[in-house]
Amino acid sequence: MRRALFIGLILICAASQAAAQTQSDEKPEPEPAKPTTVSGVWELSNSDRDRVCNLTFKAEPARAGSQVEFDPGCGTAIPPLKDVEGWTIANQTLKLVDARGRTVFEFSEVEVGMFEGERKGEGLYFLQTAASAAVFAPKRSVDELAGEWSMIRADKPVCALNFTNTATKGFDEYRLTIRQPCDQAMSRLNPNVWRLDKGELVLASPNGQSWRFEEREPKKWWRVPEGGDQILLQKK
């Protein structure tokens, strides 16, 4: 009798351990991605900003992805939008998709509040928050920006530049010169042209490297994205 009771206790313990092991091996279901991370009003534009449309991303489900709304006129300004029914985001890649879930636009995040993507035969498109786009509402002209500039690093002037309004051949770029001595980082970049691109100021070198700056105060442009040291250009 005692032997049978002992064997029964062993079996009960073994069954409990097996159940506990099974429960520990079960992995919890991953939480679904939350599509509300970019909900709100965003601006879609081409690189020349002559085609612009405001999109409203919503968290509610659509036939494919989540809902997106825009004015009917956007389909005229940016024709591919006529096929867009929803949006998805995963791994810092945002897609505008049609009713079957096929990609119409695909954007990669380049900085907080800014995505960019290329459509074959059409060039680059940019997607940014309405708040970011508003910063660049007053368009700057080449004549406004031509002249003497100072590059400031860690609150100290470290380089002097001259932006000319002399255009290069075939591009909306203008020549610039650097006065030595200059900060090593700028010397390594060694830019020879500057241009305006979607409201940003771009310094570019002959080998294709470039730095981008955004205007946050009158005559003061901060490098984006920001690195360890804050770098800005100030118009004299």
Name the more confident of 25 and 102. 102
Higher per-residue confidence, 201 vs 76: 201
36-135 in CATH: which number?
2.40.128.10
Structure tokens at 208: 């294709």
Which of these, 45, 43, 47, lies nearest to 172 by C-alpha position?
47
Sorting pLDDT into bands at 50, 70 and 90, what band is 214?
confident
Burial of 211 (0-12, 13-18, 19+ CB in 10 A): buried
For residue 26, pLDDT beyond 70: no
Burial of 234 (0-12, 13-18, 19+ CB in 10 A): middle
Exposed, middle or buried: residue 64 (CB in 10 Å: 0-12, 13-18, 19+)? middle
Residue 138 pLDDT greater than 60, yes or no: no
DSSP for residue 214: E
Confidence of residue 32 (pLDDT cuts 50, 70, 90): very low
pLDDT at residue 8 greater than cutoff 60: no
The pLDDT value given to residue 135: 56
Instruction: Please name the residue that has the structure tokens 């029964």.
Output: 8
CA distances from 191 to 105, 197, 203, 209, 211 (A): 32, 16, 6, 8, 9
Q: Is the pTM of this model over 0.75?
A: no
> Residues 26-43: what's their mean pLDDT?
59
Does residue 185 register a pLDDT over 50?
yes
Beta partners for 56? 41, 69
Q: Tell me the average pLDDT of the chain.
A: 82
Query: Which comes out higher in pLDDT, residue 139 or 53?
Result: 53
Residue 162 has pLDDT above 70, yes or no: yes
Whether the per-residue pLDDT at 164 is higher than 90: the answer is: yes
Q: What is the DSSP letter of 62?
A: -
> Residue 167 burial (CB < 10 Å; 0-12/13-18/19+)?
middle
User: Per-domain residue ranges for the chain?
Assistant: 36-135, 142-235
CB under 8 Å to 43, separation ≥6 — which residues? Answer: 52, 53, 54, 55, 127, 128, 129, 130, 132, 133
Please say if the pLDDT value at position 76 is more than 90.
no
